[in-house]
C-alpha cells in the first residue's frame, strides 16, 4: 500500500469537571500518511510525536503529517498525531480495513495513551463522539443532542500541559471530590437525555479550571462571555488556553461574535467517526 493516509479529529479534553476523564472529538482534522506528502504536508522528523507512535506501533519507513490543529492550545494536537501515527502503523501492517476492528482501535488507543500520558486526550480522536475514560476502559457516551462547538483561541498564547499540571493540588477535599463527581455524572446523563438546561451546571469544576484560569484571564473572560451569550456550557479545553463552548448550532455565530477580539474563533461540531483510513 502506498499513497494513503489516516484522518484524525482534534479533541477537547478535561470537559468541565471531567479532569482526565471526559473528552470529545472535534471536526478539525490532522492527517498522517505514507508516501509523497501532499500540499501542506511534510515528512515528520524522527522526534515528531507521529513518528514515535508509528514506530511504537510497529510501523516501517517514514510518515508525513498535515494538520490545521493549533499546537499548544488545548485542542489535542499531540494526541491526534500520535493516534494518527499508531493508526497508520496498523493500516500498514493489517490493511485498509484495520480501523474497522475494535481490537485494533483499542491497540491504537493504548499506544497513543501510553505516549500521551492521558487517555482522555487520545480516546476521542480514536473513537469519535464524547467518551469517558477510566484507566484503560473507554466508554462512549450516547448523545441525545448534536451541538455546535465554538472554540475561542487566544492570539499569541500557548500552554504547556506539563507545567499546567504541576500547578494543580495533589490532594482535594471530600467536598470538592463530591462536587465534581456529581457534575460529571450530570454531564453524561444530560448528554444522553439531550437535556441542554443541565449542561451549564454539569461543566462546573473545582479541581483544575479555577487554578488554570487564573493564568489565562482572557480565557476566563471568554468563557463567561460565551455563557452570557447563551451557550449551553463552556469550559477550558484541555489545559488551555483555548475555551470551548457547546451551543445550539443556530446560535453559534452570535455566540462567536460575543467573544473577545483578542483571539479567534472556530465554528466546529462533534466528530462522530474518529480515526479513519483515507485511500
* Domain identity same for 65 and 103: yes
127 and 11 in a single domain? The answer is yes
Of residues 165 and 228, the one with the higher pLDDT is 228
CA angle 146, 152, 155 (to 5 degrees): 160
CATH of the domain at 252: 3.30.70.890
Is 68 part of any domain? yes
As for how many domains the chain has, the answer is: 2
* 163 and 118 inside one domain: no
Considering the domain architecture, whether residues 119 and 166 belong to the same structural domain is answered as no
Contact call for residues 66 and 52 (beta carbons, < 8 A): no
Residue 139 and residue 189 in contact, taking contact as beta carbons nearer than 8 Å: no
Shared-domain flag, residues 14 and 136? yes
pLDDT (tens digit, 9 = 90+) per residue, 5-26? 999 999 999 999 999 999 999 9
Instruction: Answer yes or no: is pLDDT of 159 > 90.
Output: no
209-255 per-position pLDDT tens digit: 999 999 899 999 999 999 999 999 999 999 899 999 999 999 999 99
pTM of the model: 0.94
| Mean of the per-residue pLDDT values of the chain | 95
pLDDT score of 1: 56
Direct distance between the N- and C-terminal alpha carbons of the chain, in angstroms, rounded to an integer:
9
Give the CATH number, domain containing residue 25.
Answer: 3.30.230.10
Q: Please check whether residue 250 lies inside any domain of the structure.
A: yes
pLDDT over threshold 60, residue 193 = yes
The residue whose grid cell reads 493540588 is: 169
Task: Indicate whether 161 and 263 sit together in one domain.
Answer: yes
Of 87, 107, 140, the domain-final residue = 140
Are 162 and 125 within one domain?
Answer: no
Do 175 and 102 belong together in one domain?
A: no
Quick one: 166 and 57 in the same domain?
no
**Cell digits for 110?**
493504548
Residues 98-127: tens digit of each pLDDT: 999 999 999 999 999 999 998 999 999 999
Please compute the mean of the pLDDT values over residues 133-159 and round it to a whole number: 93
Q: How far is C-alpha 157 from the chain's CA centre?
A: 18
Domain identity same for 95 and 179: no
Among 92, 121, 140, residue at a domain's last position = 140
Q: What SS3 string covers the chain?
A: CCCEEEEEEEEEECCCCCCCCEEEEEEEEEEEEECCCCCCCEECCCCCHHHHHHHHCCCCCCCEEECCCCCCCCCCHHHHHHHHHHHHHHHHHHCCCHHHCHHHHHHHHHHHHHHHCCHHHCHHHHHCCEEEEECCEEEECCCCCCCEEEEEEECCCCCCHHHHHHCCCCCCCHHHHHHHHHHHHHHHHHHHHCCHHHHHHHCCCCCCHHHHHHHCHHHHHHHHHHHHCCCCEEEECCCCCCEEEEECHHHHHHHHHCCCCCEEEEEEEECCCCCEEEC
CB under 8 Å to 185, separation ≥6 — which residues?
Answer: none
Looking at the fold, whether 19 and 79 belong to one and the same domain comes out as yes
Residue 219 lies in a domain: yes
- The range of the structural domain enclosing residue 83 comes to 4-140
- Sign for the pseudo-dihedral over CA of 202, 204, 208, 213: positive
* 269 has a pLDDT exceeding 70: yes
| pLDDT tens, residue by residue, 59-96 | 999 999 999 999 999 999 999 999 999 999 999 999 99
CA 211 vs CA 16, 166, 189, 206, 258: distances in Å: 13, 11, 27, 9, 25
Where is the domain boundary, 119, 140, 161? Answer: 140
Per-residue confidence (pLDDT) for residue 89, from 0 to 100? 98
pLDDT digits (tens, 9 = 90+) for 167-179: 667 788 999 999 9
Instruction: Give, to the nearest 10 degrees, the angle between helix 77-94 and helix 102-116.
Output: 140
Please indicate, yes or no, whether residues 24 and 123 belong to a single structural domain of this protein: yes
Answer yes or no: is 277 within a domain: no
Domain contains 278: no
Amino acid at each position: 500500500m502506498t499513497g494513503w493516509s489516516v484522518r484524525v479529529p482534534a479533541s477537547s479534553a478535561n470537559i468541565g469537571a471531567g479532569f482526565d476523564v471526559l473528552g470529545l472529538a472535534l471536526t478539525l482534522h490532522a492527517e498522517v500518511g505514507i508516501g509523497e506528502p501532499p500540499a501542506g504536508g511534510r515528512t515528520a522528523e524522527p522526534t515528531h510525536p507521529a513518528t514515535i507512535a508509528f514506530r511504537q506501533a510497529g510501523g516501517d519507513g517514514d510518515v508525513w503529517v498535515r494538520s490545521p490543529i493549533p499546537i499548544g492550545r488545548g485542542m489535542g494536537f499531540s494526541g491526534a498525531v500520535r493516534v494518527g501515527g499508531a493508526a497508520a502503523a496498523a493500516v500498514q501492517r493489517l490493511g485498509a480495513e484495520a480501523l474497522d476492528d475494535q481490537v485494533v482501535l483499542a491497540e491504537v488507543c493504548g499506544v497513543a495513551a501510553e505516549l500521551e500520558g492521558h487517555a482522555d486526550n487520545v480516546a476521542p480522536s480514536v473513537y469519535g463522539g464524547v467518551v469517558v475514560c477510566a484507566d484503560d476502559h473507554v466508554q462512549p457516551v450516547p448523545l441525545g443532542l448534536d451541538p455546535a462547538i465554538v472554540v475561542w483561541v487566544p492570539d499569541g498564547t500557548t500552554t504547556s500541559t506539563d507545567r499546567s499540571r504541576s500547578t494543580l493540588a495533589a490532594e482535594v477535599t471530600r467536598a470538592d471530590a463530591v462536587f465534581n463527581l456529581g457534575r460529571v455524572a450530570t454531564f453524561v446523563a444530560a448528554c444522553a437525555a439531550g437535556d441542554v438546561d443541565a449542561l451549564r451546571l454539569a461543566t462546573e469544576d473545582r479541581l483544575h479550571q479555577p487554578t488554570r484560569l487564573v493564568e489565562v484571564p482572557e480565557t476566563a473572560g471568554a468563557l463567561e462571555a460565551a455563557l452570557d451569550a447563551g451557550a449551553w456550557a463552556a469550559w477550558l479545553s484541555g489545559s488551555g488556553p483555548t475555551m470551548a463552548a457547546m451551543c445550539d448550532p443556530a446560535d453559534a455565530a452570535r455566540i462567536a461574535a460575543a467573544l473577545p477580539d483578542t483571539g479567534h474563533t472556530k465554528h466546529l461540531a462533534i466528530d462522530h467517526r474518529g480515526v479513519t483510513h483515507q485511500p
